[in-house]
Structure 1
Amino acid sequence: MSVSEEQNTKLFKARRTVVQMLRDRGYSVPDSDIKMTRQQFIEKYGENVHLKRDDLLILCSKGDAPTDQIYVFFPAEVKVGVPMVRNCAKRMKADNVYNAILVVQRALTAPAKAAINEINSYFHMEVFEEAELLTNITEHMFVPKHTVLTNQEKKELLAKYRVKETQLPRILVSDPVAKYYGMKRGQVVKITRQSVTADTYDTYRYAV
């Protein structure tokens, strides 16, 4: 396999995980995107897609809230710096899109990370490296089912068990599964596991 073919394969896998992730977060994603094969990916975006990552831009919305939209940017730059981050933010502002995912080839520069922290005072921009997206972590056999609770479900849970959210076991927002679901501090996730008796049981964690 040539270097360009290998890069295209990695990009295909990363994009596939992204669209699966978006659907799992409740965004409307066409089945054709979910089921797209590598060959269809190349036919749609071209053999040189690894050089034209900008063409992979995604914009979608949640089915129950059409105004809740998210951009997914695939910057072509190998090393993303402040100018690219700011360009993404400008596009978000112009289009009134307040959520975004940045899929980068390498770790951000320190100034770019600082720029994102500044931007996140107004928007919510997440960053994933392509290497993190080559496989869908939620499909791993040892990863139990995670379900992020709505605010109402969280309220009912706390009332049922008469506890405060801070009394629940914690999960870091940087945890790979929490990151996959885009969890924010203060949210609660239900984790469903199989017991030794083949029944299931639920535990809950509070995102910090």
Structure 2
Amino acid sequence: MACIKSAARSALVAFAPDAPYLAAGTMAGAVDLSFSSSATLEIFKLDFQSDAHELPVAGACPSVDRFNRLSWGKPPGSASEDYALGLVAGGLGDGSIGVWNPLKLISSEDQGGAFVAKLENHVGPVRGLEFSSLSSNLLASGADEGELCIWDLAKPSEPSHFPSLRVHMSLNTFETRKNEEEEEDKEEERRKRKKKGDEEEEEEEEEKEVVEKEERRHTSGGCTVNSEQRAARGDG
């Protein structure tokens, strides 16, 4: 298969939703020929008009850590024109999420303001990262500890963090299990009452049988005595 364009990088990539750009972040755990431990976020321009084989770099900036996930979202609904190209989010190995403004990253005049926010809530490396296709201001992230976080980037520099879904799930699981245990206890109590009732009924039946036997014995004994008395008197 013929290669149209390329960029020799050990990186994770994300395409811009509505523009001819490609983001690439140095992949965590990867080793290149230079054995460098640095991390970089780069924006490549998807220029298919030129004859150059290498994709041109439109902008780049260093990152505090390497990337496990990379996602490029559409501009948040209430964001200004400063975020016309949306936001690039990177899930890093230290458990944080970096958020960049690609428009400023490709601008030679304001690359220093490209970094927007650092989102911190996860303990382990961020393994999952995705912008919502319905609400572009929402970003979901997941990490090694199993938590799923939802971030509201309507104000990119002041993101809101919804409570971890793992906590809610744990509470729901606890409540569900508690309700199940209560139902089990009630069912066990019903079984005990039924068993006790059955035992009492059996005891009553046994007592009734004993009484009936005793009555039959007395009746039979009375008949025998009367027969003997008549025989002694010579009655027929």
TM-score range, shorter chain: under 0.3
* Structure with higher strand content: 2
Q: Which has the larger radius of gyration?
A: 2
TM-score of the superposed pair, with normalisation by structure 1: 0.27
State the structure with bigger RCO (CA 8 A, min sep 6), 1 or 2: 1
TM-score of the superposed pair, with normalisation by structure 2: 0.25
